[in-house]
Structure 1
Amino acid sequence: MSIPLFRALARDHFLHLLLIIGVALCFFVPFSPARWPGAIDWHTIITLSGLMLLTKGVELSGYFDVLGRRMVRRFHNERRLAMFMVLAAALLSTFLTNDVALFIVVPLTITLKKLCEIPVNRLIIFEALAVNAGSLLTPIGNPQNILLWGRSGLSFPAFIWQMTPLALAMMATLLVLCWFCFPNKALNYHSGAHTADWQPRLVWSCLGFYLVFITALELKQELWGLALIATGFLLLARRVVLSVDWTLLLVFIAMFIDVHLLIQLPALHSVLTSTSQLSPSGLWLAAIGLSQFISNVPATILLLNYVPPDTLLAWAVNVGGFGLLPGSLANLIALRMANDRRIWWRFHLYSLPMLLWAAAVGYGLFLFR
């Protein structure tokens, strides 16, 4: 396992960039490595570890092949299949959170590539945009909404009502784009695709492990839950543990530490203290801009110290999930799972225009709501 892991680390240019940024920031803020572990959201790291194990288990069981074959028989053209996957990603993200939705739809999408000719990278990009659009609707769709809901005092239905105009606008936009970006052409099946062999025992084991892990999360015993399912996979199917992209966890850890160093910059502190005096348009742009560089969850945490958890802030940080890759951690998860270097720059061809459109339309809806 050490040699493949070393090779993965050597190829991970995004991780290299995060490390370079971290080293550079150390020259401008107090150098306190002892405080870095406290800056890492270990709950997120442990949760991601469990989800990656469970998803990889289902993937290696072959069940995604079975499900993919059923789907391509049902959807006979590229546009319908793409629209279904985008809608499924958005819907799942409203109640399973955006990260969990991606762990379901992206592996399935990758499986579809084995069965028929479909632009997988483009579809994964749209799925990443879809979970950002869908998850903003509910209080439990993403981490920033959980924070905002808890601070706002709104009821569950009231929060949904607050977010509905923006969610509808973003989903309508995404579906229109999907309609034009995926042609209405028949799916071409790969002649060499063989009948799927799958392992029911491994699938049912993954389902059991999932219930164990979710229960552990609910009981705030996520570390024990991860230990149980990791032990289960080591005993049942060791290759699952060996096949997971563990370097993704190092990327998240590096991001958390970089954000911790970044928010200590004196210049950033002076800017944040002035946010309470900004006009609505100024706060709108500030929240979106800050999300682009430190991700919308840390941006929400920071801004809640200076501005109220109202509609403007809720809409702005969710719009901030579009645009640059760091805007939402879901973007990073989706692109990493695609395992194709070309997708990194292609993502921005869709996400940056989506950000500009969302910022303009969202602020217009806010003014006339």
Structure 2
Amino acid sequence: MTWLPESLRHLRRDVFFLVLLGVAIVFAVAMPSRVASWPALVDWPTIAALTGLLILTKAVEQSGALAHAGQWLIDHTATRRLAALGLVAATALLSMLLTNDVSLFVMVPLTLSMCRIARMPATRLVVFEALAVNAGSMLTPIGNPQNLFLWQQWGVSFGGFVWAMLPVVAIALALLLALTACAFPSTPLQVHEKAEGGLDKRLLVIAAVLYVPFLFLADAHHVAWGLAGVVLVFAFVRRTILAAIDWGLLLTFVLMFIDLRMLAGLDIVRGWLGALDLHQPLHLFATGALASQVVSNVPAAILLAEYSHDWRTLAWGVNVGGFGFILGSLANLIALRLLGEKKAWGTFHLWSVPFFLVMGFVTWLLL
């Protein structure tokens, strides 16, 4: 087993992965005829996009650029509160333009580098960045996968989509920034060490040059070609990067797609949804938000779109559903996997569940 990447060896102690694996085994035993169709349940473009982003961000990390950027932030930030507010706001802004997943792949490694230099506790900061991408990404149709699906499904204009989402996003961001200011002390930042190692400019330039065309190909639905190009380049330039990415995260995502879509396709689930009178906006919003807690907001959006044409209410529901439990949004899982702290799950739910309840109540009032 020593030949396996470290991230795959750690899966034996990953409770979340083991639960997903157990659910898959139950489905395989209960419905063996469906096993052959499992590959079709996986959103392979999403897996390919995640793989490419993991490779590129690992290259940026190994170039030393993130450590140097973290050092710069510490040198130009007076207090922990200001540092937290800046990182949370930047994460939310990036998620509006570069999608929630990409924002986390950029900001979480940067945050970890900064926290190592200043010896700041990283867990709470990364949790707030997860909340930030869920809040910020709901504004635009390209901010997250569920918005992209709903935007394409109903052909809404870009500006019309943003205008419809603006009230909820404004409230979520105002609440999050206020919570951030309360959660982080105004104590001065203290530098305990300088960024170690030099800057590998060649590796950084290669990653930067590949980044834009990879995102362009992913947006043009040619992500497989983009991934092939990224893998080919790093196979020649620095093949150790390919082995160093989190392969366990990718395998976990594959199992999530299989388990959640098998669950969403059960007759009992569809029958239950059909009896909820989803033509009522409040019913649709509540169902979208609560269903996201169980099957994640992307499958919830795809499933509920078959029962209602009220795209705005559905978008509000599944986006608010990204808060709460970790399954609410795949971005939550990405953030905690990048953090790599086992005790982070408790901290995440300590902040995310109350935030979900407050946002759910406020959005309910808006409806």
| TM-score above 0.5, yes or no | yes
TM-score by length of 1: 0.95
Tell me how far 1:146 sits from its aligned partner.
Answer: 1.1
Task: Write the deviation string for residues 239-259 of structure 1: whole angstroms up to 9, x where unpaired.
Answer: 211210111011000001101
Task: Write the deviation string for residues 314-365 of structure 1: whole angstroms up to 9, x where unpaired.
Answer: 1111000000101000000000000110111210000000110010001112
Give the aligned partner of residue 76 of structure 2. Answer: 74
Task: Write the deviation string for residues 16-54 of structure 1: whole angstroms up to 9, x where unpaired.
Answer: 110112222345556411100000000000000000000
Q: Which structure 2 residues correspond to residues 201-212 of structure 1 after superposition, within 5 A?
A: 201-212=202-213
Relative distance call for 1:137 and 1:3 in structure 2 (3 A) is closer
Tell me how far 1:274 sits from its aligned partner.
Answer: 2.4
Tell me how far 1:216 sits from its aligned partner.
Answer: 2.9
1:32 aligned counterpart, secondary structure: helix
Alignment match of 1:166 (pick from 160, 168, 181): 168
Give the aligned partner of residue 12 of structure 2. Answer: 10
Code of the aligned partner of 2:108: V
Task: Write the deviation string for residues 77-123 of structure 1: whole angstroms up to 9, x where unpaired.
Answer: 10000000000000000011100110110000010122103221100
1:358 aligned counterpart, secondary structure: helix
1:361 paired with 2:362, answer: yes
Give the aligned partner of residue 144 of structure 2. Answer: 142
Residue segments in structure 1 that go unaligned for 5+ positions in a row: none
Mean Cα deviation higher: 19-28 or 315-324: 19-28
Q: Please provide the CA RMSD for this pair.
A: 1.6
Code of the aligned partner of 1:334: A
TM-score by length of 2: 0.95
Give the aligned partner of residue 228 of structure 2. Answer: 227
Q: Which structure 2 residues correspond to residues 294-305 of structure 1 after superposition, within 5 A?
A: 294-305=295-306
1:271 paired with 2:272, answer: yes
Relative distance call for 1:277 and 1:49 in structure 2 (3 A) is closer
2:178 aligned counterpart, secondary structure: helix
2:141 aligned counterpart, secondary structure: coil
1:262 paired with 2:263, answer: yes
- Given that residues 151 and 309 in structure 1 are in contact (C-alpha distance below 8 angstroms), is that contact kept between their aligned partners in structure 2? no
Code of the aligned partner of 1:126: F
Tell me how far 1:310 sits from its aligned partner.
Answer: 2.8
Relative distance call for 1:277 and 1:230 in structure 2 (3 A) is closer
2:143 aligned counterpart, secondary structure: coil
Partner Cα separation in structure 2 for residue 30 and residue 243 of structure 1: 35
- Given that residues 39 and 260 in structure 1 are in contact (C-alpha distance below 8 angstroms), is that contact kept between their aligned partners in structure 2? yes
Relative distance call for 1:195 and 1:16 in structure 2 (3 A) is closer
Mean Cα deviation higher: 178-187 or 192-201: 192-201
Partner Cα separation in structure 1 for residue 285 and residue 355 of structure 2: 16
Partner Cα separation in structure 2 for residue 194 and residue 261 of structure 1: 47
Give the aligned partner of residue 87 of structure 1. Answer: 89
Residue segments in structure 2 that go unaligned for 5+ positions in a row: none
Give the aligned partner of residue 320 of structure 1. Answer: 321
Tell me how far 1:283 sits from its aligned partner.
Answer: 2.1
Give the aligned partner of residue 119 of structure 1. Answer: 121
Partner Cα separation in structure 1 for residue 8 and residue 142 of structure 2: 37
Give the aligned partner of residue 49 of structure 1. Answer: 51
Mean Cα deviation higher: 169-178 or 5-14: 5-14
1:187 aligned counterpart, secondary structure: coil
Give the aligned partner of residue 23 of structure 1. Answer: 25
Mean Cα deviation higher: 86-95 or 115-124: 115-124
Give the aligned partner of residue 213 of structure 1. Answer: 214
- Given that residues 93 and 134 in structure 1 are in contact (C-alpha distance below 8 angstroms), is that contact kept between their aligned partners in structure 2? yes
Give the aligned partner of residue 333 of structure 2. Answer: 332
Mean Cα deviation higher: 275-284 or 28-37: 275-284
Identity of aligned residues (%): 41
Partner Cα separation in structure 2 for residue 212 and residue 78 of structure 1: 36
